[in-house]
Amino acid sequence: MNSKVADRIATTIFYLIAATIVTVLVGLLGYIIYHGFSKLNLDFLTSPSSSFRAGGGIGNQLFNSFYILFLTMVFTVPLGLGGGIYMAEYARPGRLTNAIRTCIEVLASLPSIVIGMFGLLMFVNLTGWGYSILGGALALTVFNLPVMVRVCEDALRTVARDQKEASLALGITHWHTIKTVLLPAAFPSILTGAILASGRVFGEAAALLFTAGLTTPTLDFSNWNPFDATSPLNIFRPAETLAVHIWAVNTQGLIPDVREVADGSSAVLIISVLLFNLLARWIGSIVHKKITASK
Amino acid sequence: MKTVMEPKRTNTTFAEQPLTEKTEKKPVALDVKHLNIYYGENHAVKDVNFSIDQNTVTALIGPSGCGKSTFLRSINRMNDLIPGARSTGEIQYDDVNLIGDDINVVALRKEIGMVFQKPNPFPKSIYNNIVHALKFNGIRSKKKLDGIVEESLRKAALWDEVKDRLHESALSLSGGQQQRLCIARTLAMKPNILLLDEPASALDPISNAKIEDLIMGLKKEYTIVIVTHNMHQASRISDKTAFFLNGVLVEFDKTDKIFTNPSKKDTEDYITGRFG
C-alpha cells in the first residue's frame, strides 16, 4: 500500500468518525425535540406540575433549576478562580502541588451520585437543613469546583508567557500582572468554561436527588421575601429541578401524561443546555473583541 | 529598593556635569564580577567578568545557547521566573549587587527595562500599552499620562505613525511598529538601562533598520545592552562587543577591534562565520 492510498484511507476514516459524532448528536437532539416540541407552550413552561391529573407544567422545576444553577455559580466561580490562580501562578512544582492536583482530579472523577450521598450527609443531615436549595447548590459546587479550577488554571496557562514577562519586566508586581494582564487575557476562556460548566450543572440530577429533594412546596411567585416559606427565593426550601423531575415522573409518576411531561421537560432541558453552549461562544467572542480593542 | 538603590545616578546628572570632567573613560553602569548562572545542573554562565559603560551600546554575540541571553536576563532578574535558576557572583549597579537576595526586583525592573525578541504588546490599545505600568505606579493625571505617552512614542520614533489611532488595538500594528511600541512602553518607565534581547530578529529588514536607528539615538540617554545574532547589526550599532561561547566570556573589547582584529581565535572563527 503506498502512502497516497494510506493517506486517503486515513482521511476517510476520520471523516466517518466525525460523521458518526454528528449523526448521534443530530439524531438525539432531533428525537427529543421532535417528541417534546408539541408540548412546548407558555402554559407548560410556567404552570406548576400536578401530582395526579394530566396537564401539569414544569414552571417550578424550571425556576428551581435556574436558581440552583445561579447559586452554584456564585459559590463556584470565586473558589474556582482562586484555585486556578493558585495552581497556575503560585504553586511551586513539588509534592504538595502534586497532592493538590491529584485531589482535584479525583474530585473531578467522582460519580455524581457519590457527591449526592456526601451532600446528604453534610448539607442535609449534619447541618439539619433537610432537603434544601442551598444544600443542592453546595453539592453541585463540590461537583463543579474541580472543573472550574481546571478551566481557570488552563485559561491562565494558555496566556502567552511573553505577556507575563512583558508586564513583569516593566516593574509590575506579580499580583498586579495577574489582575491586569493575565486575567483579562484569560477571561474569554474562563467565561466560556464557566458557561459550559453551567450546562453540566443544569442537567445534573443524581447529585440533587438527596440534597435538594424530589418535591417543591407550593410557591407564591408574588412573594419575593427570601425568608418566607412560600417564597421562590427561600434557599432553605426543598426544590425539584428539571433534570430530577424527568427522572421522578419516569420512575414514580402517577400522572396519566407521564410520557408527554417527560418529553416536554427533556426538550426544555436540552434546548437550555444548547443555548448555554451557543451563549458561551457568542459572549466569549464579544468579550474577547472588547478587551483586546480589536474590531 | 529605592533606598537600596540610592544614591541614584540619573542621566540628567551626567548631562549637567562640566565637560572638563568628561574623560575618555566613561563611568561604569554595570560591573560584572565572577558571575555564574546555573539552571539546575546546567552551568550556563561561567565566571564572567567585565564592565558596561554608561551611555554606550554593548552588543552580546555568540552562538545559540552560549549564555548571552541568560546573562542579559540575569541583569533585571527575569531568570527568577525560571524554576531552578540560581546565580553567584556580582553585578554591581550603583554599588548594589543586583544578584543579591535583598534586591526588590520590582523596583529594579523599573530602572533596568527589557525588550524581548518577539514583540509582545498587551492586547490592549496603543495608549493603554504605555500607561499600563504608569498607572500601576500611581500616575493618574490624564494630562501627565498623555504627556508621557507622546514623549515615549516620540522617543521610539512611532508617534507620527500612531498619533491618530492611539486607542486602536496594539495588535493592529505591524511587527516592527509593535516592537517600537514595546520600546516606547519601556522608555515610559524612564529606566537607566535598556536590555534588548534580539529586538530586531523577528522583523523584516526595513523595520530592522528603523530599530537600529532608534537604538543609536537612544544611546545618548540610556545605557543599552543588546543581544544579537546579526553580526552586521552588532558592528553597526555597538560601541563594545562581548563574545560568549559555551557560557564563557571569550572576548570583550571595542567593537572595531572585535570585528577587525580580534585577539582570540574563537572570536575570529565566529565572526567570520566558521561556526555558530
Instruction: Encode pLDDT of A176-187 as tens digits.
Output: 999 999 998 898
Q: Which three cell numbers stand for residue A69?
A: 444553577
Q: Is A292 on the interface with B (CB under 8 A)?
A: yes
Per-residue CA distances from A218 to A44, A66, A136, A160 (Å): 17, 17, 19, 53
Q: Which three cell numbers stand for residue A261?
A: 411531561
Side chain identity at A72, as an amino acid letter? T
- Both A31 and A46 in one domain: the answer is no
- Both A190 and A60 in one domain: the answer is yes
The answer to whether A291 and A187 have CB atoms below 8 angstroms apart is yes
Mutation site for B-interface testing, chosen from A158, A170, A179, A285 by largest number of B Cβ within 10 Å: A170
Q: Which residues of A touch B128 (CB under 8 A)?
A: 293
Q: What is residue A49's predicted lDDT score, i.e. its pLDDT?
A: 85
**What parts of chain B have a pLDDT lower than 50?**
1-23
Q: Which residues pair with B36 in a beta bridge?
A: B88
Q: Is B210 on the interface with A (CB under 8 A)?
A: no
- Both A14 and A159 in one domain: the answer is no
Which pLDDT band holds residue A226 (cuts at 50, 70, 90)? confident
Q: What is residue B16's predicted lDDT score, i.e. its pLDDT?
A: 41
Mean pLDDT of chain A: 90
Residue A6 CB contacts under 8 Å (≥ 6 apart), including other chains = none
Residue A245's nearest CA partner among A261, A229, A234 is A261
Of B78, B167, B171, the CB nearest to A169: B78
Look at B11 and A216; give whichever has higher pLDDT.
Answer: A216
Residue B214's nearest CA partner among B177, B171, B242 is B177
The full 3-state SS of chain A, as one line of letters, equals CCHHHHHHHHHHHHHHHHHHHHHHHHHHHHHHHHHHHHHCCHHHHHCCCCCCCCCCCCHHHHHHHHHHHHHHHHHHHHHHHHHHHHHHHHCCCCHHHHHHHHHHHHHHHCCHHHHHHHHHHHHHHHCCCCCCHHHHHHHHHHHHHHHHHHHHHHHHHCCCHHHHHHHHHCCCCHHHHHHHHHHHHHHHHHHHHHHHHHHHHHCCCHHHHCCCCCCCCCCCCCCCCCCCCCCCCCCCCCCCCHHHHHHHHHHHCCCCCHHHHHHHHHHHHHHHHHHHHHHHHHHHHHHHHHHHCCC
Residue of A nearest to B84 (CA): A93
- Both A155 and A105 in one domain: the answer is yes
Q: Which residues of B touch A166 (CB under 8 A)?
A: 116, 120-122, 182, 185
Q: Which residues of A touch B81 (CB under 8 A)?
A: 164-165, 168
Burial of A177 (0-12, 13-18, 19+ CB in 10 A): buried
Of B109, B124, B137, the CB nearest to A169: B109
Answer yes or no: is the ipTM higher than 0.90.
no
Q: Which residues of B touch A171 (CB under 8 A)?
A: 106-111, 133, 137, 189
Residue B114's nearest CA partner among B197, B37, B58 is B197
Q: How far, rounded to the nearest angstrom, does the alpha carbon of residue A154 sit from its chain's CA centroid? A: 18
Write down the pTM of the prediction: 0.81
- Both A163 and A247 in one domain: the answer is yes
Q: Which three cell numbers stand for residue B117?
A: 525578541
Lowest-confidence segment of A27-36, A80-89, A97-106, A246-255 by average pLDDT: A246-255
Contact (CB<8Å) A291/B124: yes
Q: How far, rounded to the nearest angstrom, does the alpha carbon of residue A17 sit from its chain's CA centroid? A: 27
CB pairs A-B closer than 8 Å: 82
Question: What sign does the CA torsion over B179, B183, B184, B189 have?
Answer: positive
Domains along the sequence of chain B with CATH:
2-118+194-271 (3.40.50.300)
Is A228 a residue whose pLDDT tops 60? Answer: yes
Instruction: Report the domain count for chain A.
Output: 2
Q: Is A5 on the interface with B (CB under 8 A)?
A: no
Question: What sign does the CA torsion over A260, A264, A267, A270 have?
Answer: negative
Contact (CB<8Å) B186/A162: no
Contact (CB<8Å) A176/B136: yes
What domain range is A27 assigned to? 1-39
Look at A58 and B1; give whichever has higher pLDDT.
Answer: A58
- Both A257 and A176 in one domain: the answer is yes
Count of CB atoms within 10 A of residue B89's CB? 17
- Both A82 and A222 in one domain: the answer is yes
- Both A71 and A111 in one domain: the answer is yes
Q: What is residue A292's predicted lDDT score, i.e. its pLDDT?
A: 67
CA angle (B166 as vertex; B164, B169 as ends), nearest 5:
120
Task: Provide the shortest C-alpha distance from residue A186 to chain B (in Å).
Answer: 11
Q: What is residue A231's predicted lDDT score, i.e. its pLDDT?
A: 87
Q: Which residues of B touch A183 (CB under 8 A)?
A: none
End-to-end, the C-alpha distance of chain A in Å comes to 49
Restricting to A residues 80-99, those with a Cβ less than 8 Å away from any Cβ of B are: 92-93
- Both A2 and A61 in one domain: the answer is no
The answer to whether A224 and A233 have CB atoms below 8 angstroms apart is yes
> Mean pLDDT throughout A156-165?
90
Q: Please provide the size of chain B in residues.
A: 276
Give the C-alpha separation, B74 to B80, whole Å.
8
Q: What is residue B23's predicted lDDT score, i.e. its pLDDT?
A: 45
> Mean pLDDT throughout A150-160?
92
Contact (CB<8Å) A160/B113: no
- Both A74 and A204 in one domain: the answer is yes
Buried b (16+ CB within 10 A) or exposed e, B207-246: bbebbbebbeebbebbbbbbbbbbbebbbbbbbbbbbbbe
Q: Which three cell numbers stand for residue B264?
A: 582570540
Q: Is A20 on the interface with B (CB under 8 A)?
A: no
> Residue A279 belongs to a domain with what CATH number?
1.10.3720.10
Side-chain-side CA neighbours of A295 within 13 Å: the count stands at: 3
Q: What is residue A294's predicted lDDT score, i.e. its pLDDT?
A: 58
Q: What is residue A218's predicted lDDT score, i.e. its pLDDT?
A: 85
> Mean pLDDT throughout A79-107?
93
Buried b (16+ CB within 10 A) or exposed e, A40-55: eeeebeeebbeeeeee
- Both A230 and A94 in one domain: the answer is yes
Residue of B nearest to A167 (CA): B133
Q: Is A171 on the interface with B (CB under 8 A)?
A: yes
Of B107, B168, B170, the CB nearest to A171: B107
Is A201 a residue whose pLDDT tops 50? Answer: yes
- Both A3 and A73 in one domain: the answer is no
Residue of B nearest to A293 (CA): B169
Which pLDDT band holds residue A225 (cuts at 50, 70, 90)? confident
Q: How far, rounded to the nearest angstrom, does the alpha carbon of residue A130 sit from its chain's CA centroid? A: 24
Q: What is residue B150's predicted lDDT score, i.e. its pLDDT?
A: 95
